[in-house]
Amino acid sequence: MLTRKQYELLVFITDTLNTKGVSPSFEEMKEALGLRSKSGIHRLITGLEERGFIRHLPHRARALEVLRLAENMAAQGKTLPGKGLRDAQSEFSPSIIKGDFKRPPAAVAHPAAEAVELPLYGQIAAGLPIEAVSDNTNTVDVPASLLGSGEHYALYVDGDSMIDAGINDGDTVVLERCNTAENGTIVVALVEDTEVTLKRLRKRGDSIALEPANQSYETRIFGPDQVQVQGKLVGLIRKY
């Protein structure tokens, strides 16, 4: 599962390797994706490496190897560098949760079971931000006691950056839909209209910090127009 920018970078690296035989420089990648800094490219490459799409070749400067393709690259005629089309994978066409969530199906209560059926949209990153894949056909039953007034939805957690807040990889989080939240609240945030992540919200003057609960991850700072709150955490479901 890739963000749009990760996908664009993977396509650019693959095309450059196929045409030039050498991976592009950070400057070339930055210009191709229209990013302002090389640090953004570094984050994208790290995300591609962690997901097993590329790797750095040891003892070689500016050397990347593409290990596998995203799903719809084959439909575009893309191939792994040095390999034929049959090595490419099938179509990649994720349905993305946009910043303006469509109103979900109304929550359905089950009085006998004292449970409420919520729409389960897909996966949310609690590590490096990734886009949540929407599947409006899925639902999950949650205890009615978890819910207050307002609209609610659920997401799977992918990653461990909120582990010190008791949120583990594979958990299901229950969220109340909102567009504002108090300092210290764990929220679903849309970052720069492209990435969705689960983090603790901190407002510092005109800046917004998205704070992990794991010392292995860094707090990210954004301007007020770069982050949109899409929900706040109200509950968690874990299967053993």
For the whole model, what pTM was predicted? 0.54
**pLDDT, tens digit, for every residue of 56-90?**
877 666 688 888 888 777 666 677 776 543 443 33
Tell me how far apart the terminal alpha carbons of the chain are, to the nearest angstrom. Answer: 25
Give me the amino acid identity at 42: H
- Do residues 116 and 106 lie in contact, with contact meaning Cβ atoms separated by under 8 Å? no
What local confidence, expressed as pLDDT, does residue 95 receive?
A: 37
Q: How many domains does the chain have?
A: 2
Kindly state whether residue 94 falls inside one of the protein's structural domains. no
CATH label of the domain that carries residue 195: 2.10.109.10
Residue 88 is encoded by which pair of tokens? 């490419």
Q: Is residue 13 part of a domain?
A: yes
Q: Do 116 and 199 share a domain, yes or no?
A: yes
Same domain for 74 and 191, yes or no, is no
Pair (223, 149) in one structural domain: yes
Separation between Cα atoms, residue 212 and residue 207, nearest integer Å: 16
79, 115: one domain:
no
Do 124 and 208 fall within a single domain?
yes
Residue 62, pLDDT score: 64
Range from 8-12, 124-128, 220-224 carrying the lowest mean pLDDT: 124-128
The pLDDT value given to residue 87? 41
Model confidence over 128-152: pLDDT tens digits? Answer: 554 444 555 678 888 887 787 888 8
Whether residue 155 lies inside any domain: the answer is: yes
Do 112 and 230 have their domain in common?
A: yes
Query: What is the per-residue burial (b if ≥16 Cβ within 10 Å, else e) of 1-39?
Result: bbbebbbbbbbbbbebbeeeeebbebeebbebbebeeee
- Do 33 and 146 belong to one domain? no
Contact at 8 Å (CB) between 238 and 188? no
Q: Specify if 140 maps to a domain.
A: yes
Residues that are catalytic: 161, 199
Is 52 found in the same domain as 124? no
Q: In which domain, by residue range, is 211 found?
A: 108-237
For residues 209 and 127, membership in a common domain is answered with yes
User: Cα angle vertex 123, ends 118, 127, to 5°?
Assistant: 135
Q: What is the mean pLDDT of the chain?
A: 78
Instruction: Report if residue 152 sits inside a domain.
Output: yes
Question: Does residue 203 belong to any structural domain of this protein?
Answer: yes
Say whether both 112 and 182 belong to one domain: yes
Which DSSP state fits 90?
-
Give me the CATH number covering residue 14.
1.10.10.10
Q: Which residues pair with 119 in a beta bridge?
A: 139
- Residue 48: inside a domain: yes
On the question of pLDDT at 231 being above 50, the answer is: yes
